[in-house]
Structure 1
Amino acid sequence: MTEPSFETGRYLYCVVELPETEVSGFSTTGVDGEGVYLVRVETIGIVVHECDTLYDTADVDVVRKWLLEHQNVIDAAGDRFGTPIPFQFDTILRGDDERVRTWLDRERETFASRLDEMAGCWEYRIEVRRDDDTVEETLRDDERLVELDERITESSAGTSHLLERQYEQRLEELKHQQRADRTAALIEQLEPMVHDLQDLGHERTTLEMETDTDDEMTRETRLAVLVHEDRQHDIDDLLDDVAADPGVEIRYTGPWPPYTFTPTIEANDAKSDNI
């Protein structure tokens, strides 16, 4: 079972590329008010703070505060050094700064290659929503729906109920296919403009279900895109065109550090071996 505390450890925020000359003065306040600093191996640095326990609490407000503090540190490092490789909240390496240097030196080529590949790129999240009534209105001319609608009008109550179920089933099938087609079309348009892209699916997470009360809009598309700074305006223009369709709402957030596109960290190093 995971131990909640340990003798000494380092909380990991992100890896950054450093200039060859000496870096001085990078420090800020991190999670739970801890002092943050930089551990360096040649031109690769890792932003850390000292710790001896996991950040675990049942208090949702405290967790949100910690997450915001975690993000603020990574944002500050990104502003100072360029696109970072971020770690997820509560990633801890057990040991002191020398242990961090040993691990970082072993992984330095992997990090250096990925930092070079992502230089100048930032993650954006794209969510396309459509008004349910508008979506359904565009599908009413489907031949099968028209046929079922006519039969419902002419049928008895018992038969009508069965036909209505068939109508709703057909409508859902059409909506599902339409979502898939539109998502595929948007991805095809985006791919030449982005460095990388991941389809996150359209289903809501548990937290989003708790906080999102907009029942009139159906989530159609959720994408994470890694975009170079030079192509951001191209993405803006494309999404403006999508949003011009009736009943469409676009939620476009960023720039974020590239959480979705970071390399996998070996389990024996930065998450499991630590605790």
Structure 2
Amino acid sequence: MSDRDGSADRLETTAGAGAAEPADAPAIDEGRYLYCLVRADEDATLETTGVDGEPGSIVTADGIGAVVHACDGIYDSGDLAQIRRWLVRHQTVVDEAGQAFGTPIPFQFDTILRGDDDGVREWLRKERDTLERALDGLADHWEYRVEVVEIDPIDDAALLERDERLRELDERIADADEGTAFLLEQQFEQRLTERRAARRESVTADLQERLAAEAREVHALERSPSAQLSDDVAGSGSTASDDGETLCRLTLLAHEDDEGAIGSILDDVAANDGLEVRFTGPWPPYTFAPEFGDDGDGTATEHANSRP
């Protein structure tokens, strides 16, 4: 699409909240900060308070709505508390849009489209086929997060009882001289580590298989992710700290009608002694939303997920 001077509009995303603005970052005389896309009729309305207290609204075209607020620059700060407030407000607006219109396609924090509301409508019409497919594919589907935490870890004696190789090493250590015993103890510790890892993998594989029967997609996440500001906002951070070891973290894309069945599976897992299941959602499908790349005509249509 084109702005007033005929140059191509661009969808701008910052390198990351809190990052220094590059010296050559293009100025934005008039723009629209994008929160998400939803299904919406032409007469749809949404009144909300957006990032930094800006009034949010919805701009519609051909049955698709973009939740936006007017802006003239990116949001950048060295104050982490300020960034967190912005992120929380961004997520709140996306949640409100989801409640009002159904599953949204969320944009990353600080995604800005050059131009005014008419420019947004033109972009929606231009990308209508792509956006229709994305909204149809995600309709009534939400993202859920699962974390299985071992709050009462299985002790060495229990592993020893279950594993023949560990018992053999234990017996050899008892009868060995000091030098040999040292080497055998290293083998023993390595075997313990392997058995614990195998147990984690078994729990994860079994849970993934059972959840896959109810969810459309299931993906494993890192057990100990690096902390990110967006984690607290979107429920993606690990909540296990000093109160247990995370055995697995999963993210699911599931129809809202299947939430109960998923909960029943997790209840079965939580019934195991020493295990705790942490289940969050429904969230907008950040992990599963499509990415809109450069369309080749100078109009950048980038969509990035703000979850890990």
TM-score greater than 0.5 by the shorter chain:
yes
Matched, 1:88 2:108: yes
Q: Superposition pairs for residues 28-47 of structure 1, below 5 Å?
A: 28-47=48-67
CA contact (8 A) 1:5 1:54 kept: no
1:197 CA drift (Å):
2.0
C-alpha separation in 1, matches of 2:155 and 2:147 = 16
Are the aligned partners of 1:200 and 1:224 in contact in 2 as well (CA < 8 Å)?
yes
1:103·1:269 contact (CA, 8 Å) conserved in 2? no
**1:257-268 paired onto structure 2 within 5 Å:** 257-267=284-294, 268=300
The total of aligned residue pairs comes to 269
| Mapping for residues 100-249 of structure 1, pairs under 5 Å | 100-131=120-151, 133-134=153-154, 136=156, 138-140=158-160, 141-207=162-228, 214-215=241-242, 217-249=244-276
For the 8 Å contact 1:151–1:163, the answer to whether it is kept is yes
Cα distance in 1 between the residues matched to 2:238 and 2:141: 30
The answer as to whether partners of 1:136 and 1:175 remain within 8 angstroms in 2 is: no
1:56 is aligned to 2:88 = no
Q: CA deviation at 1:225?
A: 0.9
Q: CA deviation at 1:136?
A: 4.7
Q: Counting helix residues as a fraction of each chain, which structure ranks higher?
A: 1
Q: 1:60 to 1:137 in 2, by over 3 A?
A: farther
The answer as to whether partners of 2:38 and 2:105 remain within 8 angstroms in 1 is: yes
Between 37-46 and 167-176, the greater mean CA deviation after superposition: 167-176
Q: Distance in 2 between matches of 1:83 and 1:160?
A: 61
Aligned match of 2:301: 269
Q: Deviations over 1:57-113 (max 9, x none)?
A: 222211111111001101111111111111111112233323322222222222222
Q: Equivalents in 2 of 1:6, 1:22: separation in Å?
A: 29
Could you state the TM-score of these two structures normalised by the residue count of structure 2?
0.80
Distance 1:206 1:161 in 2: 38
Q: Percent identity?
A: 46
Output one character per residue of 1:157-202: Cα deviation in whole Å (capped at 9) or x when no partner.
4433332222121111122222122211111111121122222232
Normalised TM-score (structure 1): 0.89
Tell me, yes or no, if the aligned pair for 1:202 and 1:222 is still in contact at 8 Å: yes
Once residues 9 and 136 of structure 1 are traced to their aligned partners in structure 2, the CA distance between those partners, rounded to angstroms, is 60
1:252 Cα deviation from its structure 2 partner: 0.4
Distance 2:185 2:268 in 1: 36
Measured after TM superposition, the shift of residue 257 of structure 1 is 0.8
Deviates more, 1:129-138 or 1:49-58: 129-138
Which consecutive residues of structure 2, in runs of 5 or more, have no partner in the other structure? Answer: 1-21, 232-236, 295-299
Secondary structure (helix, strand or coil) at the match of 1:63 reads: helix
Is the 1:14–1:85 contact (alpha carbons within 8 Å) kept by the matching residues of 2?
Answer: yes
* Cα shift readout 1:104-158 (whole Å, capped 9, x = no counterpart): 2222222222212222221110011114632655422212211222222233344
Structure 2 CA distance, aligned partners of 1:53 and 1:59? 17
Quote the residue 2:16 is aligned against.
none
Displacement of 1:212 after TM fit? 5.6
Q: Which runs of structure 2 are paired with 1:1-12 in the superposition (5 Å)? A: 1=22, 3=25, 5-12=27-34
Structure 1 residue 254 displacement after superposition: 0.8
